[in-house]
Copies of this chain bind each other. A is one copy, B any other.
């Protein structure tokens, strides 16, 4: 990609795109599902459920955390994760708002 051009778009577009990227892998959607069902759980439990190696799961968790969708805190030698519902809600609203704004813009023009 020689040069990244992502910076040349609006903050809103970048923000929404980053969120979309966070959930653009089935493993990460599956992780959110596990966390929702159990409210919170440690990395090892997720590794047992997903068909992925421990290091790979850890990577996906890191990305979800960077995107703000989950929180994680250490509990002894373990790491306990849970969904950040507030952030998730906010992202959900943002996405819905994109859809509504597109429809609105379209209605104005036609």
Interface size on A, residues (CB 8 A): 44
Beta-carbon contacts under 8 Å, A24-83 to B: 24-30, 32-33, 36-39, 51-52, 83
In the complex, chain B residues whose CB is within 8 Å of the CB of A29: 9, 13, 16-17, 98
Copies of this chain present: 2
A92 to B21, CA, bound (A): 16
In the complex, chain B residues whose CB is within 8 Å of the CB of A37: 105-106, 109
A residues in contact (CB < 8 Å) with B = 5-6, 8-10, 13-14, 16-18, 20-21, 23-30, 32-33, 36-39, 51-52, 83, 85, 88-89, 92, 95-96, 98-99, 101-103, 105-106, 109-110
